[in-house]
Structure formats: C-alpha cells, structure tokens
Amino acid sequence: MTRRALLIVLPFLLLFVSLFVGRLDVGPADVLRILAAQVFPIAPSWPPSVETIVIQIRLPRALMAMFVGAGLSIGGAAFQGMFRNPLVSPDVLGVSAASGFGAALAILLSRSAFELQVFAFAFGLLGVAMTYIIARVYQTTPVLMLVLSGVVVAAFFGALLSGAKFVADPENKLPAITYWLLGSFNASTLRTVAIVVPVITAGTIGLLLASWKLNLLSMGDEEARALGVRTERLKAAIIVCTTVMTAAGVATCGIIGWVGLVMPHVSRTLVGPDHRRLLPAALSVGACYLLVIDDVARTATAGEIPIGILTAIIGAPYFAYLLRRTSGTWQ
C-alpha cells in the first residue's frame, strides 16, 4: 500500500519541484502563491516576470514532460505485453520515423510551429496505418507480421527523412530538423498542453480498461481466443491508443527514445508482470523519469541539452544492466 501511494504522489511532487527548479531562483512558497493566485483573488507580491516564468514557461514544460513520459511508458508496457517481446517500444510500428518525416517536411515548407505539430501527428498516424494494412493476412494481424511491417515502414520513412535532410538548407533548415529530432520541451505552451493532454489521457484510459485482457493476450493469440478474447479487436484498440499517444508526444516534443522501452522494465521490477498493476505503475514511473530528465536538461548547462541525448545516455546502460542481470531470459 505504501508503494502504491508513493507511485501516485511522486509524479505530482516532482511536478511541483519542476516549477521552482531553474536558472531563476523562485522559492516553493512563491510558487504556491503564484499557483493559488490563478484561482483565488490573491494580491501579487512578486514581479510579473516571475509569474510569467512559472505559469507560461515552467508549468507547460513540466506538464508536457509528465504526460509524454507517462504515455510513452504505458504504451511501451502495453506493446511489450501484446507482442510478448521485452524489446519492443511504442515506435515499433514506425510512428516515430513517420512523425519525424512529417516534421521535417513542415520545416522544409516553412510552416508554423502549430502546422509542424499537425504534420508530425498526421504522418505518425499514416505510418502506423500503413504498417497495419501491410500486416493484415486473411483478416488477421499476426504479431510477427506487425513487427516486420513496422520495420519496413520505419525504413521507408527513415529514407524519406534522410532525403529531406539532404535537400534542406544547411544554414537554417537542416539544423532545425536535426534539433527537432533530438527532442525538447522548450516549445511547450499552455495551448499545446490543452491539445496533447486530453489525447494522452484518452489513450491511457483505453489501455487501462484493457489491462486485464492484456494478461490473456500476453499468453498468445490462441490461448486468448480460447478464453473468449476477441484478439483482433483488442490488438487494434491497443495499437490505436498507443499510436495516438506516441504521435501526440512526438509531434510536440520530437523523438524521445528509450522511455517506452526501459521504463516498463523498471515498473515490472516494482509491481510484477500483472498488467492490472503494471500499466498504472508504468504511468507513474514514466512521468517521474521524464520530469527529472527535463529538469536536468534545462539546468545542467548554460544551454539546454536535448532530451533524446539524456534518455539514451541513461537508458542504454540501464538496459545493458538488465540484459546482464537476466541473461536475456527476462524472467
């Protein structure tokens, strides 16, 4: 019970910490008063610039880090259960590669930031739709066909992305594409939060409702069908929920790797393999992890470190540790 309470409270505690961590020193008490002033008629005793930093800059970043981390982590846990493979992540069906090309195309066409997000989100959905269509065999979608189709689609959009880099202006647009692909929350605003958070929340609710069926699906399609699970509908629902969450996160923050791959394993060590407990734990662990990573990214150096660099630096060694500890058996 104590561990469950900690998993519930810790993301919100780290969210609050993120509001007063930064280059400008803002005390916790001031942060509390600024937040309360958004709801209650409290006379401000702080400069307007401080309120702008807390409400317009740090709060959207922290909320985006919290929800994107939670969405990637729970999506990775659901996919690992559905594919019965501990090496899959939310981008296994090509959503990240397709979203990356969509964003690069928007940059090449000199579109606005909002249009870039729309392009990236739409192409992410298109990539997964292509994967699903290719994988269909006699009105079924075998797990192996999904994985192989995802590899094909990811390679296709990866080639298109390389082509976009090749023709991009090396002075302006190529650096913009490269920086976007590394991942960052610096473009987060209250507007993007209002768009992305409901999408991730809806996808999360869908996965949580299917958590007990995921336990059956993880035993194999035949066993799940024998127990009354409509496997094709369930897989389609899981793919849709995970895809929209991943595409929404990638469209607004760029490609952030390793979260959906490693955080489900961390959650599994805490609560076990039962998806009824694993998925909620993955929500909490992923949210906490990306909140901490974002705090480090914007405070460790004079310039902001791209999120994708830090997640790879931390995620890859930890995954290597898991490989050594389990000898690849994942028991």
Q: What are the domain boundaries of the chain?
A: 2-326
330 pLDDT tier (thresholds 50, 70, 90): low
C-beta of residue 46 within 8 angstroms of C-beta of residue 33: yes
Q: What is the three-class DSSP state of 167?
A: helix
**% of the chain surpassing 90 pLDDT:** 70
The pLDDT of residue 322 is: 81
Provide the pLDDT for residue 139: 72
For residue 220, give Cα distances in angstroms to 84, 85, 237, 240, 331: 8, 11, 17, 20, 17
Nearest-angstrom CA–CA distance, 211 and 190: 31
pLDDT in tens, 236-285: 999 999 999 999 999 999 999 899 999 999 999 899 889 999 999 999 99
22-26, 157-161, 202-206: least confident range? 22-26
Residue 231 burial by CB count (10 A; 0-12/13-18/19+): exposed, middle or buried?
buried
- How far apart, in whole angstroms, are the C-alpha atoms of residue 226 and residue 299? 53
Whether 1 has a pLDDT exceeding 60, the answer reads: no
Please choose, from the candidates 137, 170, 168, 130, the residue with its C-alpha nearest in 3D space to the C-alpha of residue 152.
Answer: 130
DSSP state of 56: I
Place of tokens 């800059």: 57
Q: Which amino acid is at 273?
A: P
* pLDDT digits 0-9 by tens, 49-94: 899 999 999 999 999 999 999 999 999 999 999 998 888 899 899 9
Mean pLDDT of the chain: 91
For residue 123, what are the CA distances in angstroms to 106, 111, 126?
Answer: 11, 15, 5
- SS3 state of residue 227: coil
Q: How many CB atoms lie within 10 A of CB 233?
A: 11
Is it the case that residue 29 has pLDDT exceeding 80? yes
Give how far Cα 16 sits from Cα of 28, 56, 275, 288, 297, Å.
8, 15, 29, 12, 17
pLDDT score for 303: 82
Could you tell me the fold of the domain covering 2-326? ABC transporter involved in vitamin B12 uptake, BtuC (1.10.3470)
% of the chain exceeding 70 in pLDDT? 98
pTM reported for the whole predicted model: 0.93
pLDDT per position as a tens digit, 90-127: 989 999 999 999 999 999 999 998 899 999 999 999 99
